[in-house]
Structure formats: structure tokens, C-alpha cells
Structure 1
Amino acid sequence: MPKKLSNALTPLAVKNAKPGRHADGGGLHLLVKESGARSWVYRFMLNGKSRDVGLGPAGTGGISLSHARDARDALRLKVKAGIDPIEERQREANEALAASQAAQVAGMTFRAVAEAHIAANEGSWRNDKHRQQWRNTLATYAYPVMGDLPVADIGTAHVLKILEPIWQDKPETASRVRGRIEIVLDAAKARGYRVGENPARWRGHIGQILPARARLTRGHHKALPYGEIPGFVESLRKRAAMAASALEFVILTATRTSEVLSGTWAEVDLERGVWTIPAARMKAGKEHRVPLTSRATDILKESKLAESEWLFTGDRGGKLSGMAMNMLLRRMGTDVTVHGFRSGFRDWAAESTAYSHEVCEMALAHVIGNKAEAAYRRGDLFEKRRRLMTDWAAYCASPLRADSNVIAIRSADLTP
């Protein structure tokens, strides 16, 4: 029977040992690699299985021989007690990781999660206004209440504290704030920062506490009756302000305010009479070609004298302010909205022309509601829309009285 080793190694032997495994006794081994790297290993038997557990580096700057023997002796006692040192080490590592993650979650605030979500997703949002609204609404309403709270601790009471003061007076804002809080909390749950139900969820939760949106007042964009638009345009043309030119352009193209104010010369082909609005700036997320009538083209040519990248410039050289046209309407003594002129155009097209529903809807860049039809619709009916917008421009410039009963119908455009 071979003699059991006991303290077979010496510090000098550890220093000069060649590559290989060198036993010291009691399960302690010195491992030396071809590179010269040295480490201590304790080999033990438990439940009929032999296993190795590393103790650390050996040699200069590492664990000394005497300390390696002390570590071996401590582990031998655990093995005799039926404890697997490897499993114990893994369990301790898991517990440390869990504690670290718990500390991280405890320190993860609603503000931090919200800002991270905005940074990760704002590139896919349509415009700067939408990005700014996200930040502004959360900073104004959510952060003062729960911005610095751990996102894991946010509950229904916090959400209601934000929403209840503004739910009746600012329904649109309140609805958007609730939706954005819900999205942030969903993102936090997906990242493992919180568990359980979303306290900002509407259906089956907040909707059981606050009145439904259908009961809240929103209203429609107030529009000028289309019969009064020619007279309004005539009055508009007497004003030399850039806002007046921009507003007339909005009316003639039946486009949205944001589409016009953010329009650039790179999008316009004056020679062909086409303005191509990129998908990123369209509400439906789809590129929209706008046919430019003679009058719309003349407005742009006059505007281009300002030498700016924008179609319509403000007093400071940047793009025209979003309030410029609204203030102009107030000065003209009317309470209609700029967006309302799209309604006037649609009413005129429906009641005073025979253009098809599809042509009129495409002129407004509305999405085709019928999915089957949308799947087969490949073109944008551009030439028919050009004729429609030419007729609209002619109507806007017509001397018809506001109470006129004359209705112009183009028989040549009865087909869709």
C-alpha cells in the first residue's frame, strides 16, 4: 500500500516545480502549466465522485504554501460534513449576484427608466414635436410625483396622484401622460426592474376608477364653411405677412400645418409642380406627393426670395413658428383653426364636385380604411388629384358669394 503524502512540498519546490501536477498531500496539488503559471487545487471525494476545486494562484504574488494548506484543511472539514465546496461556492456567487441585482433594481428610478426608454426609441418617432412632448409631459406631471422613486415601488396611488388633478381639465394631456407612464412601466418590467401588474393600465384598472375618454370633452377643429373660403382667401391675399402666404398655401394644398412648416426646398420640384413630403413627416408614415397648382407655385416662388432651407421662414430666419398662422387668424377676427380648412376642402369636394371618395381621401393623405382595397392600391391617383386641386384653387379664387347656390360638378371625372 503506497505511503500517504503529508506536506511533501517545500516553498523552494513550489518555486522550481516543472510543468505538471505535484501532490503535497491531503488532496492539495500544485498545478504548473507550460507557460509557467502556477495554481493550487484541492481534490476531494464526495458521494463516490472525485472533484477539483481551485484555491487560487501560487508562487510570487500568489497564495503561499502554508496558506494553501490552511485552505485545504478548511475545505476538508466541509467535505467531512457532506458539504460540496464547489456547489457552496456557486451558491454564494448566485446569492451575491442576486443581491447586486436587487440593489440595482432598488436604485433604478422611474426617471432613469423613462429617459432610457426615450433614448432607445425616439429615433423611430415621427417628428421632433413628438419627442419633445414625451419629455415635457413626463417632466411636468410624472417626475414631480414619482421621478425619483424606485420603479419597482410605483403603484396605483402614485399614478392617480398624477392623473386625477388633470383628468377633467386637461383630458387630452392626461390621457397621453397615462399612456406614457404605462409604456415606461412595461419597459421596466421587461428589463426585470419590476414585477406584477401595470398600475397605469387602462382596461380593467384605471378605467374602473376614472371616467372613460368618451365622457371627456375634446371637440373638433373648428372650420370655416367652404362657401366662405373664397372670400377669406381674397382677404388673406391682401396681407403681406409670411404667415398669410403659408396659410394660403395650406389651404390650396389641403395639407397639415406641421407638413407645411417643416417643408424644405429639397422636397419641391417647381418645374414639375410636385411637392414630395417624406414618410418620416407624414402622420400615416407614408410618402405623400402633393400636386402644386399655379397659384401654390407662385406662393413658393415669392417665399423663396427669403433664401432659407424652409419653404416659409420666420422673422429670425428659421422655419415659421407654429403659432404664426393661429395668431394671424385671431387678428383677422375668426376663431376657426388652421386644420379646419382641411374639413372645408373635404366638404367642398364632397358636395360640389363629382370626384370619387378615393381621390378626395388621397388628397388629404388619409389611410385607406379597407385593408383589402389598400393591399391592391398601388398608385396614388396623382393626376386625378392634380385636377382636383386645380379645381379647388380655382374655387378659392372665385368671386362666388358666400350665399351662392352655384355648384360646379366636373362630369369628366366620374370614374374613381
Structure 2
Amino acid sequence: MRELNKLSAAGLKGLPEGKHGDGGGLWFHRRADGGAQWFLRVVVHGKRREMGLGRYPDVSLKEARGNADRGKALARAGIDPIKDRERKRREALSRLHVLKDIAEDAFESRKAELKDDGTAGRWFTPLELHVLPRLGKVPVSEIDQRDIRDTLAPIWHEKADTARKAMNRLSICLRHAAALGLEVDLQATEKAKALLGKQRHIAKNVPSMPWQEVPAFYQSLDDSITELALRLLILTGLRSKPIRFARLDQIESNVWTVPAEMMKGRKDATTEFRVPLSTEALAVIEMASKFERDGFLFPNQRRGVISDATMSRYMERKEIEARPHGFRSSLRTWCAEATDAPWEVAEMCLGHSVGSGVERAYKRTDYLEKRAGLMERWANLLNRKSDDIVRLLS
């Protein structure tokens, strides 16, 4: 007989990345981002099935074992536990009628394909803020294009991107309701777009800070996780995602190799990106290493890493109009106004692709050494006092 109950509740938190068996088909999976979930492996009609049993620590070891026992009992009876769960879920959902319930279930069904299981709220928030307050209690079969038009009209032009996302989510909810067997108008969102007309929206740049003011802000930051992350973001010119998911094993000597999937907007996005680290950046990383958990420099309090909004919220609390992403503009403007850095070197500092595909195929350089010197100068500027900068510019 296979050994059972090999895991302990006390030992779960310390388990490394990978899959760990409890015995009897129950497994604990620790993901690379620090999160974890349970799953059950059973064989039904000669076919192996893997059934998710919930996220840890939301589902305890004891609960996971109970869920696994029920799943195995069904399998022994020749019943696929996954299909049985889906059948019961469909029966329960067939009784749903109002949009709020449909929206919540559609969100639940898509969590697995969303980053961090949708915990950042970006998928559901447009519905929650702009659709459900007005249509949440309306039977989904009664929602038509006029309801949708009247709901989204107040933000259709003023908050065009948010309105577009809300319309997209609403369309998904209607398709989800149709899949549940409810009678809905699947064309209602397209008809609503026709009624609303083309969006009249002027894109606004992310607020940035004049580069002359960045040193004072930089020097105001202390050594908390959020403020160290902001310091590294300013020093490197990177977006927030590679900063938040920075790992010690990505850094060797004074070069940080950012994985390709962490880079945005590069035409050659299958290639990792090397970032030269200034002396100041290395010092910030050294300070951040005391917070390291599961290899991540900037872990969240519970699990995973700090959220995408963490640094922005910090600046909001300080009543600063600029946003973290805007420091990329500050750096680029400094390169243009205060240095003689070639255009392609300055662009590469931001991780932008330089030149056409043909040019990149022959000119295989990322200007690492030139960028290293430029970023060291940027770091030196950030540590200068404001009166020093005034003298430098005069």
C-alpha cells in the first residue's frame, strides 16, 4: 500500500517550488511565483485525470485530504469527479438569472487564465465599477442594447479605455450566460456600440516628473520594500513588471538579465534583455535582498510579489501627480537634454527595439557598455543635491 499523509500542515510553507505528493493521489504544487494549489490525480476508465482542489492556504491540508477522499470515492465508482463537479455546477448555475451572479461566475471560470488568478482585479473591476451598480440585479435575459448604452454612455468618451474593457467583459458575460443555457441577446454589445458611436477620446500620457526634480524625490525614498522597488525602477528605467518580479538569480555581477516574458513592447520579445546595474542600483539590490523570499526581491506580505498598483499608490499617498511609469520619460528626456548619448543608446536604455528587423539581424548589439556608462551618470545625478544640479545646469 502506498504511504499516505506524507505532508504536514506545519511543513507546507517551507516546501520549495515543484510538486509534492501527500500520497493516495493528492499533490501540493508550489508555483514559481510563490503561490500554491492542491490537485488530485485519479484514473477513471483507464484514463488519468487531474482535478484542482483549490488554492493554498485558502484550502488547508485537512480540507484538501477530505476533498481528495470524495474525488477518489467517485473514481472508484466509475464516475469522473471532474465531470461530476461540473455537472453539479451547471445545475446550480442554471438557476442563476441576474447579471451580477453571471458576471461573478464568468470571472471564476477565467481565473486560471488571468495573471495571479485575477487578484489584481483588472478583469472584474470595469464591471464592478461601471456596469453592475446599474445592471447587476437585472435578469440577464432582459438586458438589451439600450440598457448597455445608457449604462456606459457616461464614460464612453471620457474614460474610453475603461468603457471598452467594460463592454468587452459584458460581452463575455453574455456568452457565458448563453453557454449556461440562458436566453440572451449575444449581439447586444455590438448593437450598443452602434448606438454609442465612435469614441471621442484623446490619449493622455502617463504623468511624469521633470528630470530635474527626480533627484529630490529619489533621495526622499527610504529602505522599505515599496520604496526600494521605486528606487530600482528609477535607476534602471524599466517598467514595473520586471522590477516587481526581480529575482536574485537573474543578477550576475553588475548585469541583470530580464527574462523575455517580463519585457513589453519589444519587437524581438523572445529575447531576454540585459540591464547594466550602476553602483547605486547594486546597493539598492543589496538592501532589498534582506526582504528576499522564494528568490523574489520584492515579495508581497502574504505570497507572490508586490502588486502592480503598490508603487502608484505610494505616490498617490504622497500627493504626487507623476506615476512610476513616468520615470521612463524622465530618464529619456534627461538623455536627450543633458547628455550626448546617441539616439539608439538612449532608446535601448528603455528596452525599446532599435532599427528595422533587417538592421537588428545584422547589428547584433544591445550597447551594454555604452548604456552602463550612461546609467552610472544617471545614478550619480539622482544622488546629487538640488543645488549641485542647479550649478551643473547653469
- Taking structure 2 as the reference length, the TM-score comes to 0.58
Q: 2:325 aligns with which of 339, 355, 358?
A: 339
1:194-273 superposed matches below 5 A: 198-201=187-190, 206=193, 209-210=196-197, 212-214=199-201, 219-236=204-221, 239-266=222-249, 268-269=250-251, 271-273=252-254
Q: How far did 1:170 drift?
A: 4.4
**Structure 1 counterpart of 2:239, which letter?**
R
Aligned to 1:394: 380
The 8 Å contact of residues 226 and 310 in structure 2, kept in 1 or not, is answered as yes
Aligned to 1:94: none
Q: Deviation per CA, 1:369-400: give whole Å up to 9, x if none.
A: 85655666655433333333222222222356
CA separation of 1:377/1:135 partners in 2, compared to 1, >3 Å: closer, same or farther?
Answer: farther
The 8 Å contact of residues 254 and 363 in structure 1, kept in 2 or not, is answered as yes
Matched, 1:276 2:263: no
CA separation of 1:234/1:116 partners in 2, compared to 1, >3 Å: closer, same or farther?
Answer: closer
**Structure 1 counterpart of 2:379, which letter?**
A
Q: Sequence identity, in percent? A: 29
1:400-411 superposed matches below 5 A: 401=387, 402-404=389-391, 406=393
Q: Distance in 2 between matches of 1:316 and 1:372?
A: 46
1:157-176 superposed matches below 5 A: 157-167=146-156, 170-176=159-165
Q: Deviation per CA, 1:259-318: give whole Å up to 9, x if none.
A: 32232334x32x422323333333335543322222111111112123423312456686
**Structure 2 counterpart of 1:206, which letter?**
K
Matched, 1:135 2:124: yes
Q: 2:286 aligns with which of 289, 301, 310?
A: 301
Larger Rg: 1
Between 1 and 2, higher relative CO (CA 8 Å, sep ≥ 6) is seen in 2
Q: Distance in 2 between matches of 1:172 and 1:181?
A: 14
CA separation of 1:352/1:280 partners in 2, compared to 1, >3 Å: closer, same or farther?
Answer: same
Aligned to 2:32: none
Instruction: Give secondary structure in 1 for the equivalent of 2:275.
Output: strand
The 8 Å contact of residues 291 and 297 in structure 2, kept in 1 or not, is answered as no
The 8 Å contact of residues 264 and 311 in structure 1, kept in 2 or not, is answered as yes
Instruction: Give secondary structure in 2 for the equivalent of 1:200.
Output: helix
Q: Distance in 2 between matches of 1:280 and 1:332?
A: 32
**Structure 1 counterpart of 2:199, which letter?**
A
CA separation of 1:325/1:184 partners in 2, compared to 1, >3 Å: closer, same or farther?
Answer: closer
The 8 Å contact of residues 107 and 150 in structure 1, kept in 2 or not, is answered as no
The 8 Å contact of residues 242 and 312 in structure 1, kept in 2 or not, is answered as yes
Q: Deviation per CA, 1:152-198: give whole Å up to 9, x if none.
A: x7542232143124436644422211233346668999999999984
Q: Distance in 2 between matches of 1:373 and 1:349?
A: 23
Structure 2 gap segments, 5+ residues each: 1-93
CA separation of 1:138/1:312 partners in 2, compared to 1, >3 Å: closer, same or farther?
Answer: same
The 8 Å contact of residues 277 and 372 in structure 2, kept in 1 or not, is answered as yes
Aligned length in residues: 295
Q: How far did 1:112 drift?
A: 5.6
CA separation of 1:120/1:376 partners in 2, compared to 1, >3 Å: closer, same or farther?
Answer: farther
CA separation of 1:186/1:378 partners in 2, compared to 1, >3 Å: closer, same or farther?
Answer: farther
Structure 1 gap segments, 5+ residues each: 1-105, 408-416
CA separation of 1:384/1:333 partners in 2, compared to 1, >3 Å: closer, same or farther?
Answer: same
Matched, 1:312 2:298: yes
